[in-house]
A and B are shown apart, each in its own frame.
Chain A
């Protein structure tokens, strides 16, 4: 009995954690390339969720289409934000784009409040699929769907970054912008592309979490956004595998911790953030290779 409850919590934690990982990837990719915390990322996530919600409720589209729509919308929003709010400030000091990010975040929250109203809306999943019953471990259809989609997206991202030419250009740009330009890489395009991919993953997370909790509202990005950020820091900000691992660990920590102190569920992420900043500020998978200059 104890074990089945424990495993149920583990599955729950991994499900939640995989969505944190998706969010964390957006933060970490942008940070890796611009050394900027994109505070508007939580609103990109929220926008993805609402677009998915519209697709399901207004246009009666199936779940897969809603997911793609949410990703596409978030992707475009991310690219626009970079162009409008960050690119003009690329040569400014480091604080300016940060303030711009917070401004965009507040703007988008209020735009969503205006458009959708403050109340949470139900987000029906609109799909049918089997779950998984492994005796002691049971995974609901929704959990299975979220896990499979998250893993698929993360594996895809890994392939994109490690094995393709644009991925190579992204890594080069993250390591040394000036030299990347000397290779003939158009870094503005690479940066746009990075926002596009990171935001699409955030949008996917928005749709998945919206469906998981059957709810979407204009402020829904706040906590998941912060937790995605914590997951990114936990893994080592700028480090892509780190963001994946950080998300899963944070999801597990939160769900298992909540068993003992459910009223502090959201506080666990911050405790983790404080601990990591105190004891290992570079994160679990922070830079290992020494750079020779």
Chain B
């Protein structure tokens, strides 16, 4: 479904991604784990066209999307839940969700999608008129995920959804990620919380300073000595 071929990106003179290749098949949850500054966020931004790609190619559902504008990439079925949630702080919950469906012109469709989001996150329905900046961290994360779902993505990119949240909420959110996946959305999950990520993923990649250093099934990675030492704290 998504394939990155040797993708290289720069911030100024600094090479952030030094040739990333990865592949995600339809229906999978794939995770990319790595330490701070490894290039996880940059990888997701490259996919969305938010950072420019110096060399390499990105294909989505057979089409070359390298260098396409972000609006086209989003329109083709990729949605992202950015790192740190990034809800629109001075807008209401409802407006945030509506913006998620920005490219779906049809009002009826938007209403239907809203219902689906409320099924996953009932709390959002009670907070429709609340200003998003005043939600708790966990609620903001739910809003960010709900907002991305409003775009009806075929591929959902999640950047550290566990960041800064209590363990209870994290496990709640990971349950919902699995639920979203089971109803047919392919998922690319970027995490520092390697244990949680590998426990729900089918496949995993380990990224270090802009390079993929390991790639295996999630199960094997959970049992991999290197991974255990470096990312699972065992």
Residues on A close to B: CB < 8 A? 165, 168-169, 171-172, 175-176, 178-186, 287, 289-293
Contact = CB atoms under 8 A, between A and B. Distances in A.
Interface of B: 48, 50, 69-71, 74-75, 79-80, 82, 84, 86, 88-91, 95, 98-100, 102-103, 131, 133-135, 137, 140, 147, 151
Given A172-B99, A289-B133, A291-B133, A182 B91 contact: no
Nearest to A287: B90
Contacts of A171: 88, 90-91
Nearest to B86: A179
Given A172-B99, A185-B71, A292 B91 contact: no
A169 B102 contact: yes
Nearest to A288: B90
B70 A168 contact: no
Given A171-B90, A292-B89, A292-B140, A179 B69 contact: no
A181 B50 contact: yes
A290 B102 CA distance: 26
Nearest to B84: A293
B86 to A, nearest CB: 4
11 contacts: A169-B102, A175-B91, A176-B88, A181-B70, A182-B79, A184-B70, A186-B69, A291-B89, A291-B133, A292-B135, A292-B140
A179 B103 CA distance: 14
A105 B70 CA distance: 33
A36 B137 CA distance: 31
A287 B100 CA distance: 24
A287 B133 CA distance: 12
A232 B75 CA distance: 37
Given A181-B71, A183-B102, A186-B69, A168 B95 contact: yes
B74 A183 contact: yes
A183 B100 contact: yes
Given A176-B88, A178-B50, A183-B151, 6 more contacts: A171-B90, A172-B88, A180-B99, A182-B74, A182-B79, A186-B71
Nearest to B99: A183
Given A184-B71, A186-B71, A179 B88 contact: yes
Given A169-B102, A289-B134, A182 B48 contact: yes
Q: Which 9 A-B pairs have the closest CB atoms?
A: A184-B103, A181-B70, A184-B74, A179-B86, A183-B102, A291-B89, A183-B99, A184-B71, A175-B88
Nearest to A188: B69
A127 to B, nearest CB: 41
Given A182-B80, A183-B100, A290 B133 contact: yes
A64 B103 CA distance: 37
B86 A184 contact: no
A147 to B, nearest CB: 30
Nearest to B134: A289
A265 B137 CA distance: 51
A291 B95 CA distance: 17
A176 B89 CA distance: 9
B98 A168 contact: yes
Most chain B Cβ neighbours within 10 Å, of A171, A176, A183, A291: A183
Most chain B Cβ neighbours within 10 Å, of A176, A181, A290: A181
Contacts of A180: 99
B27 to A, nearest CB: 23
A172 B95 CA distance: 10
Contacts of A175: 88-91
B75 A184 contact: yes
Given A171-B90, A172-B91, A292-B89, A182 B84 contact: no
B70 to A, nearest CB: 4
B69 A182 contact: no
B157 to A, nearest CB: 9
A168 B100 CA distance: 11
A184 B151 contact: yes
B89 A289 contact: yes
Contacts of A178: 50, 82, 86
